[in-house]
Structure 1
Amino acid sequence: MKGIVLERFGGPEVLEVKDWPEPACPPDGYVIGLKAIGVNFADTVERRGLYRRNQALPYPLGKEASGVVMERGPLAHEFQPGDAVIVVKFDNGCYAQRVSARPDQVLRPPQGLSFHEMAAFGTSYGTAWFAMHELARVRPGESALIQAAAGGVGTAAVSLAASFGCAPVVGTAGGPQKCAFVESLGADACIDYSTRDFKEIVRDLTGGRGIDYCLESVGGQVYEDSLAVLAPLGRLVIIGFSSIRDNYAERIARLHPLTLFQRSISVAGLNADNIQFQANRAVWERLVAHAEEHRIRPRVGAVYPLERAGAAHTAIESRQTMGKVILEP
């Protein structure tokens, strides 16, 4: 079986396709023949050996994919061979032609999606939905600010906020082309952060009140400015720090609890690896039902063969992409 397992950490050049043993089917799980693989920014951090403490080699990559059930264990009952499914594996292994998965890692996709769209749905929409509904408890009519809105999670968050009835939905992105793309997803406005300061524009768009809900994945000054534009009772959910490449503990600004108290705001963090949202079937089914009701289709950006995974990582790291980047095994 062809796949990518890191034998050393480093730049995109370490992503080498090699022959690896076929996956064994768990007694209560499945073997999935993969059709499309979702690429996440976290994959690029893992590739450099900076995602987890004590990352050990050899190290598999790939947290999500779509495909067809090829084999199921004798104790597995939810899916049949031939079923199209989404795979979400936070223990990785999806940069491959086939993958084994526990029952909680194999998910029903929304109806009508292509395999590329299914691979773009799992972690991006799961993260955006969990942040918006399980943590921030967003209500229709509340305002939403989505940072890095042209990326995989950003596009999901804009689509979900708009379809849920948030208003206004504001995104940020780098450049006019990306901003037009974000507005095509349902955003009421998109601010080009490469030329404009989003703080004053957000205040104008909300009549000076500020933002009720912000999804933040950039870190640094963007994080601090996102805090600054929160309305009273506003909620900020942090899902990453893409602008910070190393020394996280030293480079992330501290937040004093008195700030939360004095401004009546809330800040939460969401690490999808920790919460394993895909194992919560009730949350997942609510997301799938919402996507089907509102006919949400993930936006797929560039598609690369698995052999060009390095080029896919380079595109993501250089901020060249819009929508979800996909690998074909």
Structure 2
Amino acid sequence: MAFKGASFTFPFFLGFLLFTVVPVVIALKESLYTEKGSGLGFGARTVEFSGFDNFLRGLEDAKFWGSMGRVALFAAVSIPLIQLTSLGLALLLDSVTARVAGRFRILLLVPYMIPGIVATLIWVYLYSPVVGPLTPFFSLLGIDANFYSGSMIWVSIGNLMAWSAIGFNMLILYASLQSVPRELFDSARVDGASEWRMAWSIKVPLVRRSLVLTTVLSIIGTLQIFSDPMLFRSMTPETVTRDFTPIMAIYDWAFAQGDFNYAAALSIILALVVGTASAVFYRLTNKAPTS
């Protein structure tokens, strides 16, 4: 009986093996080699075993780590704001009737259901100073808003990410709130607790694990951001450079400069950074509350 139940996990593990484990092994293997050309570059190219040279080169790559720093700073600002907004919306939905919550829940989920590329194209159009409606609107208010400038590009990308992510995070937190026994709230009301007091002292602590889960997913997704800045680059290449984010730098090395071995090494380094950051955050936050 246990074997029959476990057999339902076979498709997942097969997909995980083929599309996660195998590519990682291949990337690790490729990162240990270097492709070199003979003569002035016109001769045949050879692939030689180079050990960890590509990793050492990656650790000394200032542009790659500069892009990592940019994304890390962006994540440190955007993720808390997105999480607080998602939590606030989930608390608001939990405080209204199920019928009202159902209507607003669908409305808030619409941005998440739109494919990422399509959502980015929509906002690239909205941000456009030529055809977009936002620049003329702010001009009426006396504000010169250039959403593609160096000082605004991260705000533009952050707004797009928040627009797409808040609905998903809200749904996870709202579902967690719905699993809390309603008797706890009734008892709190009898004791004279206000809605704000119940939210802060009862609801938020009880959904802490869901907050940790959505934050870990946000860390993983933000540190690997690619499609959003890549499409913004088509509009403002002088602001969004080819190594603007770590994934963009890896993509450039692999497909623009043709150094797949070095790109594979950078991919492994990025995976280790993302895994370490997620594990540290999970370790520090996912602890049982002390009584």
Q: Is this a same-fold pair by TM over 0.5?
A: no
* Rg larger for: 2
Give me the TM-score of the superposition, normalised by structure 1: 0.21
Give me the TM-score of the superposition, normalised by structure 2: 0.23
Greater helix proportion: 2
Greater strand proportion: 1
Q: Which gives a bigger RCO, structure 1 or 2 (Cα 8 Å, sep 6+)?
A: 2
